[in-house]
């Protein structure tokens, strides 16, 4: 049996799932497709504990908060704390892009560096995000796909495999 794919979700993907966002170009089909694979045990999902900081309880209804907690408690979801190793890798990534700042005038923001470092260290096959252009002074993430400061990492929007029913019950344990 082949290894299960390991994916990493930027917080924006998890927020889109929890809030059942109306996203352009059928992006939610990809989110639901991967959420189904995780729910069915066909994929491993890696998240940084930073997601708990970025996903504010005050923006979630009670039922969404419960689904968030239930989803995180699955055995094939790895919630990674930012310890010294992740912090040092994130620092390395930020330093790399800071050195390239004269070309783009944008930097790799701390939160994005932590997410990317976690994905790299836990060998994610894909890093899923919607971040193409970045915000304010921050680099977009999808344009970094292929080589993140020399580390191989595919960064993309979550892609659907076939027709996926969009059903929030996949969040429930």
Judge residue 73's burial from the number of C-beta atoms within 10 Å of its C-beta, 0-12 exposed, 13-18 middle, 19 or more buried.
exposed
Strand ordering across the sheet containing 6-9: 77-80, 44-48, 6-9, 126-128, 151-156, 146-148
Which CATH number goes with the domain that contains 117? 3.40.50.1010
- Give the integer Cα–Cα distance in Å for 130 and 155: 9
Cβ atoms < 10 Å from Cβ of 10: 26
Instruction: Kindly write down the DSSP assignment for every residue of 99-143, as one continuous string.
Output: HTHHHHS-B--HHHHHHHHHHHHTT-SEEE---SS-STTBPPSGG
Q: For residue 43, what are its two tokens? A: 């994929």
Residue 25 within a domain: yes
Q: 154 is in which domain, residue-wise?
A: 6-166
Residue 59 within a domain: yes
Of the two residues 169 and 117, the one the predictor is more confident about is: 117
Predicted confidence band of residue 33 (pLDDT cuts 50, 70, 90)? very high
Residue 142 within a domain: yes
Residue 23 within a domain: yes
Residue 172 within a domain: no
Q: Are 166 and 16 a contacting pair, CB within 8 Å?
A: no
98-144 residue pLDDT tens: 887 655 678 999 999 999 999 999 999 999 999 998 788 899 999 99
- Give the integer Cα–Cα distance in Å for 151 and 90: 12
Of the two residues 160 and 88, the one the predictor is more confident about is: 88
Whole-prediction pTM value? 0.88
> What is the arithmetic mean of pLDDT over 39-49?
95
Residue 45 within a domain: yes
Q: Are 124 and 46 a contacting pair, CB within 8 Å?
A: yes
- Give the integer Cα–Cα distance in Å for 83 and 159: 31
State the total domains in the chain.
1
Predicted confidence band of residue 172 (pLDDT cuts 50, 70, 90)? low
Residue 171 within a domain: no
48-64 residue pLDDT tens: 999 989 988 778 889 88
Q: Are 118 and 128 a contacting pair, CB within 8 Å?
A: no
* pLDDT for the residue numbered 58: 78
Q: Where are the alpha helices (DSSP H) in 20-59?
A: 27-39, 50-54
> What is the arithmetic mean of pLDDT over 145-159?
96
- Give the integer Cα–Cα distance in Å for 72 and 164: 21
């Amino acid at each position: 049996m082949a290894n299960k794919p390991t994916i990493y979700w930027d917080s924006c993907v998890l927020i889109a799932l929890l809030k059942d966002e109306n996203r352009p170009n059928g992006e939610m089909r990809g989110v639901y497709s991967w959420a189904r694979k995780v729910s069915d045990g066909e994929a491993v999902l890696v998240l940084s504990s930073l997601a708990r900081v970025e996903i504010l309880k005050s923006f979630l209804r009670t039922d969404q908060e419960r689904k968030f907690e239930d989803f995180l408690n699955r055995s094939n979801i790895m919630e990674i704390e930012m310890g010294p190793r992740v912090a040092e890798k994130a620092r390395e990534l930020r330093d790399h892009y800071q050195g390239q700042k004269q070309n783009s005038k944008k930097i790799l923001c701390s939160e994005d560096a932590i997410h990317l470092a976690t994905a790299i260290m836990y060998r994610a096959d894909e890093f899923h995000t919607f971040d193409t252009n970045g915000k304010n002074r921050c680099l977009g993430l999808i344009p970094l796909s292929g080589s993140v400061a020399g580390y191989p990492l595919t960064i993309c929007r979550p892609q659907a495999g076939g027709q996926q029913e969009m059903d929030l019950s996949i969040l429930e344990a």
